[in-house]
A and B are shown apart, each in its own frame.
Chain A
Amino acid sequence: MSQNSVISDHAFDFKLVFESYGVRVKLEASSKELLEKASEAAESALLGRLEIIENVNAEHSFGFSLDDDGETLFLHENGERITSDTSVKRFFRFFDGLLRIKVAEFTRDRVFIHAGVVGWKGRAIVIPANSFRGKTSLVAELVRNGAEYYSDEYAVLDENGLVHSFPRFLAIRYFDGELREKLVNPSSLGGRVGRVEIPIGLVLLTEYEADAVWNPQTLTAGQGIIEMIPHTIPRRANTKFALNVLNTSVSDAIILKSPRGEASDFAVEILSYFDNYISLARTFRG
């Protein structure tokens, strides 16, 4: 069978529909075992925040099938084959990220921002950035220094601009002949997971650069929001809501932009800076 051919719907005899963050997703597979694996992967990807629902249609579907030899797995999205793999682990890891993005993009009452997040004295420090820019390393160091862990992947904002935790294990990358990833429980860093939704106090627009000196520029709310938009997942699917929530969320936040050096040094420096900022703000508010 050619790589790009599309399997017709009847090849998927096993199906289930779940809802997560208000988004309905159908999983369908060519075997019961494959559907169970897909279902487990979905549970893990969405941190168990899903509910299986009966007799409903879904806006989005993922199909899972195997080739005749049972060696190659195929992934289909909305009926179209999108990728294949012979490694089961790698295949489901890919699906893991894809599913989260799908839910993040189409949820109607939350705004997912690709960012690391920690809590510090009741305020969130949000670090929007692309992958491989040191986000997780910085989050890990902030947690080691006493910050509460919220997420190393998504800031989940509600309509009031408050940040909710999305505390999957930290995905720490390392080089071992090739680039790899290990999942780290935040408790092993001495950290606690933040459970309460909190307002954003600080947005850090920063990426790791060797020998960089932290020399931040303070951005206005508007300037900060346009820097956050490329990391805002539903920017096209739910633009008006996303912009409104971003505006609300940064209304009382300081937004800083600068490259930074090593995460371990920077984490201490930024927490100290944020402490000073908080106490100054309290003084001015009386």
Chain B
Amino acid sequence: MNNSHFPIARKNGLVVQEVPDEVLVYDLETNKAHCLNQSAAMIWRSCDGKTSVSEIATLVEEQAGNKVTEDFVWLAIDQLSENNLLEKQLTPNFPGQSRREVIKKIGLATMVAIPVIASLVAPQSALAANSCRCNQNSDCGLPANAQCPSTTVCNSAGFCAP
């Protein structure tokens, strides 16, 4: 069996929250939050290591009630892989085409929403919410204060700021 055609969804180190029409995934290893739209979520849930890409396409087609191609599934797999949401990284099968070209092609061929994963990295430390407070200059060099007005100066009012 070629595993690249039987993708497996990653489970460890993830916290999953179902939201109406979407799925939220928080990656505890990378502090990345992901929002999978319905199509991406449907495909991710189908990645059980036993179902092939073409079978996933058929499953999605049945659930969505509209024509879905293998490229549609590969588009989701490409993003799932890029965001480390699969057990093994997979390379999409889009010879000579960019992701944008594939999206355009798929978008014209189906009525089903294109799979999309939106992601955002959260600061590891909650201290980033410490309102840029400091006692000494070195406090401002901490990663938690990276977004403060100054990362080198702790002013006399106790801010990492000029």
Contacts and interface: CB of A to CB of B under 8 A. Distances in A.
A127 to B, nearest CB: 14
Contact of A225 (B19, B31, B136, B157): B19
Contact of B157 (A96, A179, A220): A179
Interface residues of A, number: 50
Main secondary structure of the interface of A (DSSP, over half): helix
Contacts of B161: 132, 178-179
Contacts of A179: 149, 155, 157, 159, 161-162
Interface in A229-276: 229-237, 239-240, 243-244, 246-247, 251
Contacts, number: 143
Nearest to B156: A178
B28 A236 contact: yes
Most chain B CB within 10 A, of A93, A222, A227, is at: A222
Interface in B116-138: 118-124, 126-136
A190 B48 CA distance: 59
A101 B20 contact: no
Contacts of B71: none
Nearest to B153: A178
B120 A87 contact: no
A132 B126 contact: no
Contacts of A89: 158
Contacts of B119: 226
A90 B156 contact: yes
Contact of A90 (B33, B131, B158): B158
Contacts of B155: 178-179
A180 interface: yes
Contacts of B159: 173, 179-181
A96 B135 CA distance: 12
A226 B15 CA distance: 13
A286 B144 CA distance: 48
B130 A97 contact: yes
Contact of A94 (B118, B147, B158): B158
Interface of A: 75, 83-85, 87, 89-91, 93-94, 96-98, 101, 104-105, 114, 130-132, 153, 171, 173, 178-181, 220-223, 225-227, 229-237, 239-240, 243-244, 246-247, 251
29 contacts: A91-B135, A98-B130, A98-B133, A101-B129, A130-B128, A131-B129, A131-B132, A132-B147, A132-B161, A173-B159, A178-B156, A181-B157, A220-B35, A221-B22, A222-B36, A222-B118, A226-B24, A226-B34, A230-B33, A230-B122, A235-B26, A235-B31, A235-B126, A236-B126, A240-B15, A243-B24, A244-B17, A246-B17, A251-B20
